[in-house]
C-alpha cells in the first residue's frame, strides 16, 4: 500500500507542471460515527465499531484526477492497516472526443450489485446492514476491491466498463471456506484472475439507475473459475423509491441455460418512502436460494438458507445522520463459516448508527 500511496502523491506532481491552481482542486471530506449491532445470534454480523473515514480528491488537471478513501474498519484493525485503503487510484478522463472514456489505475473498488462501491460508508450504504443475500459480509474483500486497471466508456446514457486486477483477500481461510465449503483450499490472488465486465444505464434525470456486471474469478490455478452475474435496477422520484437486484453464481462445471434452475442466487428488493425532507423509512427483503452448500459441506439444511425481512429508518439533522434497522432472519448462509453451527432457524438483528459528515 505504501508504494501505491507514494505513486498517488508522485504522479500528480509530475503531471501538474507549472499549473499552480492545484490547491483549489484539492478537496477533503469525511465522516465519523458509531455503528452498534445487537443480535440474538452470535455471528460476525454482530459487529459494533466506531466508523471513521477520509476522502481526498485531487483534480490535478482537467483530465487527470486522484481519488483516495481511507476507512478505519474492523478489517484494518484485525488484518493490517492496508485494509483501511478503500480505494486509491489515478484516473484519466477523455471527454473531448465523441466517445468519452475514463481509465483508472490503482486500488479499485469494484462494481458488484447496486451498492458495493458505497457499502463501506455509513452515509451511503443501503441500511445499517446491507442485504446479505447480495453483498455477503464474510466476503468483504474478494468481490469488493483489487489492484489493477479499469476502463469505462460512455455511450449516451449507457456506460460500458472492463476491470482487470488482482483481487484483495482479508482472511484467505474464511473466504476459501465460504466459496468452496473447505478450509484447506488455498486462495492465491494473481493479476488477471479477476475480471469484471459492466453495463450501466444512468440517465441525467437520476430517477432511474440500472447496473449490471459479470465477474469472472479464479481463486487459484487449480480450482475451476466462477462467474458471478449481478443486475439491479433502482427508481427514486424523491418521494418513493424502489429497487430490486439479484446475484447469480455459476461454477465452471455448470451451464448458464441448461443448469439455470440449479444455480445459486440471491435476491434483494427494497421499497422506501420519504416521510418528510429529513425522515426516510424503508422495508427490505433479501433471500439466498439454491446454495447447495449442505450437499458439499454436510451442514444443516437450515444453514443452507438465508431469508431476511427488515424495516429501517433514517433521520438527518443537518450534517448528522441517525439510523435504526430491525431484521428478522432465518438461515445462516450469509454468515461466516465459523458461525454455521449457530441457531439459525429464526433470529433477530437490531442495528443502529450515528454519523457526522464533515
Partner 1 sequence: MDMPHENKKSNVLRSVIFTISLTVTLWLLPVNAADLIHDKQANVTDYSTGSLKAIFTRKRVFWGNGERIRVFTKPVNSIEHRLFLNQWLGISTYRYKKLLKVQLYSGKNSGVQIVNSDQQMMVSLLNTPYAIGYMADGTVIQNVNGELELVVIFYE
Residues interacting with partner 1, by CB under 8 A? 24-25, 27, 29, 53, 55, 57-59, 62, 65, 67, 69, 87, 89, 93-96, 100, 109, 117-118, 121, 123-124, 202-206, 236, 238, 274, 277-278, 280, 316, 318-319, 357
**All residues at 6 or more sequence positions from 281 whose CB lies less than 8 Å from its CB, including other chains:** 272, 273, 275, 311, 312, 313
Q: Cβ closer to partner 1: 181 or 232?
A: 232
- Measured from the CB of residue 157, what is the shortest distance to partner 1 in angstroms? 10
Closer to partner 1 by CB, 86 or 185: give it: 86
Instruction: Compute the least distance from the CB of residue 300 to partner 1, in Å.
Output: 38
Task: Please say which residue, 101 or 309, places its beta carbon nearer to partner 1.
Answer: 101
In whole angstroms, how close is the CB of 296 to partner 1 at the nearest point?
Answer: 35
Bridge partners (DSSP) of residue 148 are: 106, 165
Distance CA(196)–CA(110), nearest Å, equals 8
The nearest distance, CB 160 to partner 1, in angstroms, is 16
Nearest distance in Å: CB 156, partner 1: 13
* Residue 149 CB neighbour total at 10 angstroms: 16
**Closest C-alpha to 174, from 44, 64, 314:** 44
- Name the DSSP letter for residue 187: P
C-alpha span between 9 and 12 (Å, rounded): 6
Give the shortest CB-328-to-partner 1 separation in angstroms: 26
User: What DSSP line would sit under 73-138, residue for residue?
Assistant: -HHHHHH-GGGGEEEEEEEEEE-SSSS-EEEEEEEEEPP-TTTGGGTTSTTTSSSSS--TTTS-ST
C-alpha cell at 145: 476491491
Amino acid at each position: 500500500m505504501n508504494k501505491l500511496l507514494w505513486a498517488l502523491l508522485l504522479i500528480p506532481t509530475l503531471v501538474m507542471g507549472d499549473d499552480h491552481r492545484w490547491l483549489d482542486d484539492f478537496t477533503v471530506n469525511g465522516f465519523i460515527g458509531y455503528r452498534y449491532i445487537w443480535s440474538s445470534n452470535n455471528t460476525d454480523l454482530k459487529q459494533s465499531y466506531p466508523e471513521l473515514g477520509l476522502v481526498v480528491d485531487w483534480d490535478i488537471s482537467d483530465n487527470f484526477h486522484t481519488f483516495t478513501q481511507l476507512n478505519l474498519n474492523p478489517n484494518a484493525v484485525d488484518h493490517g492497516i492496508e485494509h483501511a485503503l478503500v480505494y486509491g487510484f489515478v484516473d484519466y478522463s477523455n471527454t473531448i472526443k465523441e466517445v468519452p472514456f475514463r481509465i483508472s489505475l490503482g486500488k479499485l473498488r469494484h462494481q458488484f450489485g447496486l451498492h458495493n462501491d458505497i457499502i463501506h460508508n455509513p452515509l451511503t450504504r443501503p441500511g445499517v446492514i446491507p442485504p446479505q443475500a447480495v453483498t455477503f459480509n464474510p466476503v468483504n474483500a474478494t468481490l469488493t476491491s483489487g489492484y489493477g486497471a479499469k476502463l469505462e466508456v460512455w455511450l449516451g446514457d449507457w456506460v460500458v466498463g472492463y476491470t482487470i486486477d488482482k483481487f484483495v483477500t482479508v482472511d484467505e481461510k474464511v473466504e476459501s471456506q465460504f466459496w468452496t465449503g473447505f478450509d484447506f483450499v488455498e486462495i492465491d490472488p494473481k493479476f488477471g484472475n479477476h475480471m469484471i465486465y459492466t453495463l450501466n444505464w444512468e440517465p441525467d434525470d437520476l430517477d432511474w439507475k440500472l447496473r449490471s456486471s459479470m465477474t469472472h474469478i479464479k481463486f487459484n490455478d487449480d480450482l475451476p473459475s466462477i462467474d458471478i452475474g449481478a443486475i439491479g435496477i433502482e427508481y427514486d422520484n424523491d418521494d418513493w423509491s424502489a429497487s430490486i437486484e439479484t446475484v447469480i453464481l455459476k461454477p465452471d462445471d455448470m451451464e448458464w441455460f441448461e443448469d439455470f434452475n440449479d444455480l445459486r442466487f440471491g435476491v434483494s428488493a427494497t421499497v422506501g418512502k420519504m416521510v418528510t425532507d429529513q425522515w426516510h423509512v424503508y422495508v427490505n427483503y433479501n433471500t439466498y436460494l439454491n446454495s447447495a452448500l449442505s450437499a458439499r459441506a454436510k451442514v444443516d439444511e437450515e444453514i443452507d438458507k438465508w431469508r431476511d425481512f427488515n424495516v429501517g429508518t433514517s433521520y438527518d439533522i443537518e450534517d448528522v445522520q441517525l439510523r435504526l434497522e430491525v431484521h428478522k432472519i432465518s438461515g445462516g448462509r450469509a454468515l461466516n463459516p465459523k458461525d454455521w453451527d449457530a441457531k439459525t432457524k429464526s433470529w433477530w438483528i437490531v442495528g443502529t448508527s450515528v454519523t457526522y459528515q464533515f
